[in-house]
Structure 1
Amino acid sequence: MLMDTHVHLNAEQYDEDITEVIQRALDANVQKMIVVGFDRPTITRAMELVEEYEFLYAAIGWHPVDAIDCTDEDLQWIETLATHPKVVAIGETGLDYHWDKSPKDVQKEIFRKQIALAKRVKLPIVIHNRDATEDCISILDEENAKEVGGVMHSFSGSVETAEFCINKLNFIISLGGPVTFKNAKTPKKVAEEIPLKYIMLETDAPYLTPHPYRGKRNEPSYIPLIAEQIAALKGITVEEVAKITTENAHRLFYKIK
């Protein structure tokens, strides 16, 4: 069994064919998926989907790009929803210095508030980090995020950064489509050197589509392509990658049945 631990089935890109997309995932042995909501509309849609499909779960949080729009009422709403049996994580949250919609100080404040929220509801945290590794890791450390742990979503950092996240922060590493890109040396090195017990699989669909479909809409049925690449890099079977990464996901997202 495979699990897609980070997918945006709540995105408008799937409005026309969500049923077919989900069926293709199931046919590819992707039997469980975590739908990530990161603002009011996407969280609302994620909750609708997990009510409709037994094998879908939700992670809910506020994206750093939109941190400037996040209110205390929004965070209270997320905290209330977090008691739902199919909400398995807080996030995606974190820092994004690539886009300039939300000032860095606002991003940091909302990030810290969501770490505190995750600790109150005792759920792991899904981290979005873009061009902000040093600040992101510092805040996780300062706020004692290791208490609940979490995942570095769509990890693009170095082996050394991955090891720090694992050993000091109690986080694990999630790899997606970029590990299949021919010129993506860093994700491949991480896949080779980080022990499999600290790795999970994700698509981040509809984004970051793996080779050979790069440039087209991504979907969770492509998880096997990511598993195959990691298996090849590690010199092990796809079955072993599927088994261990799924076990890792169940251990972190403990509410998944």
Structure 2
Amino acid sequence: MLVDSHCHLDFPDFAEERAAIIARAQAAGVERMVTISTRVKRFPSILEIAEQFDPVFCSVGTHPHNAGEEQDVTTEELVRLSVHPKVVAIGEAGLDYFYDKAPRDAQARSFRNHIAAARETGLPLVIHSRDADADMAAILEEETGKGAFPFILHCFSSGRALAETGVKLGGYVSFSGILTFKKSEELRAIAADVPRDRLLVETDAPYLAPIPFRGKRNEPAYVAHTAKILGETLGVSEDEIAAITTDNFFRLFTKMPRPAALGG
């Protein structure tokens, strides 16, 4: 069994064949998918997908790109919306200095609100970080000092120091199709040094399709290709990396029910 810990099934790319995409994922052994919120104002449409498909669960949160337009989203609202049984995570939230689509102070305020929601609910915070390693590490250090909270550095493509900070503070690190790219030697070296009990895999679909689908629309079934490369990087079999990443997923996403076949 595999888990796609991060995809965007509400995006228009999937509208015409969502059911078929989910079926293909299950056929590839992907038994759980988390479709990730990028706008709280669009949360009802995400929740509708999670309610429609048994293998699909969701998060609630505001992507840093949208932090400027959702400055009214409070910690209290995130906590309230997270009560639904299909909501298993907070986010994605964080810092993105590559595109800078929202003011950086708005991104930081939103991020801290999400951290507070993760701390209060015990649900993992899905963190987006791009070109913001120093500020991200500083906020994580400061906020963890106020009280620990579960989190995952999603679609990891940052520097080694941020991975090490995340792990030190109790976080998990998730790798996407970027790990499979020919020029990702440095990223694979970082992945090899992340403790095995902190590793996850994801697609970030419809983006970042792994080799051999690079340049095409990504989908949850393709997480198997990222897992295969992660296994090769660690020197373990495909079955073993599936077991490692799946066990880690359920340890972090504690609200997610385990399938009966896994003792859930």
- Please give the range of the TM-score, normalised by the shorter of the 2 chains: over 0.9
Q: Which amino acid aligns with 2:60?
A: I
Report the counterpart of residue 141 of structure 1 in structure 2: 141
Report the counterpart of residue 243 of structure 2 in structure 1: 243
Structure 1 residue 85: Cα displacement: 1.5
Alignment gaps of 5+ in structure 2? 258-264
Structure 1 residue 41: Cα displacement: 5.2
TM score, norm. by length of structure 2:
0.92
Structure 1 residue 212: Cα displacement: 1.1
Q: Which amino acid aligns with 2:126?
A: V
Q: Secondary structure at the match of 1:69?
A: coil
Residue 144 (structure 2) pairs with residue 156 (structure 1):
no
Structure 1 residue 227: Cα displacement: 1.0
Report the counterpart of residue 46 of structure 1 in structure 2: 46
1:202-257: CA deviation from partner (whole Å, max 9, x where unpaired): 00000011011111000000011011111111211010000010000000000111
Q: Which amino acid aligns with 2:165?
A: F
1:81-128: CA deviation from partner (whole Å, max 9, x where unpaired): 101122111110000111233111111111111111221222111100
1:60-90: CA deviation from partner (whole Å, max 9, x where unpaired): 1111111111133565443211011221111
Alignment of 1:92-241 (within 5 A): 92-144=92-144, 147-167=148-168, 169-241=169-241
**Total equivalences in the alignment:** 256
Please give the alpha-carbon distance, in whole angstroms, between the structure 1 residues aligned to 2:40 and 2:191: 34
Q: Which moved more, 1:87-96 or 1:154-163?
A: 154-163
> Would you say the 8 A contact 2:123–2:255 is kept in 1?
no
> Would you say the 8 A contact 2:131–2:158 is kept in 1?
no
Please give the alpha-carbon distance, in whole angstroms, between the structure 1 residues aligned to 2:119 and 2:50: 23
Report the counterpart of residue 66 of structure 1 in structure 2: 66
Report the counterpart of residue 9 of structure 2 in structure 1: 9
> Would you say the 8 A contact 2:133–2:159 is kept in 1?
no
Alignment of 1:12-91 (within 5 A): 12-40=12-40, 42-73=42-73, 76-91=76-91
Structure 1 residue 43: Cα displacement: 2.1
Q: Which amino acid aligns with 1:248?
A: N
Q: Secondary structure at the match of 1:92?
A: strand
Structure 1 residue 17: Cα displacement: 0.6
Q: Pairwise CA RMSD of aligned residues?
A: 1.5
Q: Which amino acid aligns with 2:139?
A: I
1:177-208: CA deviation from partner (whole Å, max 9, x where unpaired): 00100111222112222232110010000001
Q: Secondary structure at the match of 1:214?
A: coil
Please give the alpha-carbon distance, in whole angstroms, between the structure 2 residues aligned to 1:233 and 1:226: 11
Q: Secondary structure at the match of 2:211?
A: coil
> Would you say the 8 A contact 2:35–2:56 is kept in 1?
yes
Please give the alpha-carbon distance, in whole angstroms, between the structure 2 residues aligned to 1:146 and 1:246: 27
> Would you say the 8 A contact 2:71–2:106 is kept in 1?
no
Structure 1 residue 2: Cα displacement: 0.2
> Would you say the 8 A contact 2:38–2:63 is kept in 1?
yes
Please give the alpha-carbon distance, in whole angstroms, between the structure 2 residues aligned to 1:103 and 1:52: 36
Report the counterpart of residue 254 of structure 1 in structure 2: 254
Q: Secondary structure at the match of 2:68?
A: helix
Q: Percent identity?
A: 39
> Would you say the 8 A contact 1:159–1:193 is kept in 2?
no
